[in-house]
Structure 1
Amino acid sequence: MQSKEILKNHVSKMVSLTEDEFDHFFSHFKHQTFKKAQTLISAGDPVECEYFVLSGCLKTFFINDELKMYILQFAMPSWWASDYNALYNKSKATVSLDCITDAEVLVLTNDDREKICNDIHKAEHFFRWRTNKGYVALQKRLLSVMNSNVKQRYDELMTQYPELYNIVPKQLIAAYLGVSRETLSRLHP
């Protein structure tokens, strides 16, 4: 499926745009490909865009002062990724974004998103819906971290995204769960 169709299917789950409206919407995106391990955003960078994943898998992560990695998000096809704090507040990135696999994305700048929203009211509704959906997912994840043990969090992740175990290296799943690789091995022998 072509990138335009993938995005159109994604957007149409929430709003119905005419062909002309969608063509205008799509014209603001830039297609890019990245190789495995390639960095899209590094901590400290200015952030001016977000990424819609067409294929592959990205990860958003933070490395603390003790050099321990914490993964905030895996971004699979039809998911969005960026450092949203930096993007919306026009500040430097506090998290990094890179490719777990080769990836194909559509890139949308903050300015272009605002232009789309000014031109097409339904697009503004779409972006608000998408942001709200992301907030709900983040809240669920935070509550899971606070209220569930590691085994429960692992089972929840594998139930929700069974394909992750075949795509994402085990040490990254461990970093997402906040455990060691050894602990993860005991959960999934």
Structure 2
Amino acid sequence: MKSLPLRKQIEEIVNLTDEEFAFVLEHFQQRIFKKHQIVIHEGDYAKYEFFVLKGLMKVSRLYSNGKEHILKFGIENWWVTDFEAFHRKTKSTLMVSCLEDTDTLAIDLENKEKLSRELPKMQSFFLTKTTDRYIALQKRILCFLSSNANDRYHNLLTIYPGLIQRVPKAMIASYLGVTRETLSRLTKADT
């Protein structure tokens, strides 16, 4: 069943009965996207938060000079959206797109809040996931401030196992904040 990864992730934090999990699933809808499809455009409202079942997404910002900054990749079992726009119901400042054909479970804010109210275990789950995201963001910022390119590269390999084989080197370089030439030196030194 496609929803098993979601149940596994939830049950790492809270236990659910079969009936409770069925209730949880009622609040999600399956959304399937094609490779290169933009899920959230800058300036659009972020209507959904996506749990990635299969595939690969990226969260980025494109600047007027054509330069793209990749904030995050969304691999299997990760949650992806423009979190500020989603929770504050504002227009997105980020773009969410698919790097592979991607299968997700999507939840809108109204259903997320309803689920949290009606099943307090889920409120605990969502709070834990939000805290985990905040901690990961803090670590990423500190890594950028205090680490060299080699350390950032090895950190990426730890956080996103197998990603280096799934995305173009230019995107890896963008995520790391380095040039493609620097990334080439890092990957050569690693072999």
- Same-fold status (TM-score > 0.5): yes
- Residue in 2 that maps onto 1:53: 52
- Residue in 2 that maps onto 1:137: 136
| TM-score (normalizing by structure 2) | 0.96
Secondary structure in 1 aligned to 2:15?
Answer: coil
- Residue in 2 that maps onto 1:18: 17
After TM superposition, give the deviation of residue 27 of structure 1 in Å. Answer: 0.9
After TM superposition, give the deviation of residue 180 of structure 1 in Å. Answer: 1.6
Deviations 1:65-97 (A, max 9, x none): 322110000011100000011111111000000
Give the aligned length.
188
Deviations 1:22-57 (A, max 9, x none): 110111111111111111001000112100000011
Name stretches of at least 5 consecutive residues in structure 1 with no aligned partner.
none
Structure 1 residue ranges, 4+ long, deviating more than 2 angstroms after superposition = 159-162
Counterpart AA for 1:77:
E
Q: In the TM superposition, what are the counterparts of 1:2-41 in structure 2 within 5 Å?
A: 2-41=1-40
Q: In the TM superposition, what are the counterparts of 1:45-124 in structure 2 within 5 Å?
A: 45-124=44-123
Q: Measure the CA separation in 1 of the matches of 2:68 and 2:183.
A: 15
Counterpart AA for 2:47:
E
Name stretches of at least 5 consecutive residues in structure 2 with no aligned partner.
none
**What is the Cα-based RMSD across aligned positions, in Å?**
0.9
Q: Measure the CA separation in 2 of the matches of 1:57 and 1:84.
A: 18
Secondary structure in 2 aligned to 1:3?
Answer: coil
Secondary structure in 2 aligned to 1:47?
Answer: coil
| TM-score (normalizing by structure 1) | 0.97
- Residue in 2 that maps onto 1:166: 165
- Residue in 1 that maps onto 2:126: 127
Secondary structure in 2 aligned to 1:126?
Answer: helix
% identity of equivalent residues:
39
Q: Measure the CA separation in 1 of the matches of 2:158 and 2:47.
A: 34
Of 161-170 and 21-30, more deviation after overlay is shown by 161-170
Secondary structure in 1 aligned to 2:16?
Answer: coil
Secondary structure in 1 aligned to 2:178?
Answer: coil
- Residue in 2 that maps onto 1:156: 155
Secondary structure in 2 aligned to 1:185?
Answer: helix
After TM superposition, give the deviation of residue 19 of structure 1 in Å. Answer: 1.1
Deviations 1:131-151 (A, max 9, x none): 000000000000000000111
Q: Measure the CA separation in 1 of the matches of 2:6 and 2:108.
A: 16
Counterpart AA for 2:181:
E
Q: Measure the CA separation in 2 of the matches of 1:97 and 1:160.
A: 19
Q: Measure the CA separation in 2 of the matches of 1:85 and 1:131.
A: 12
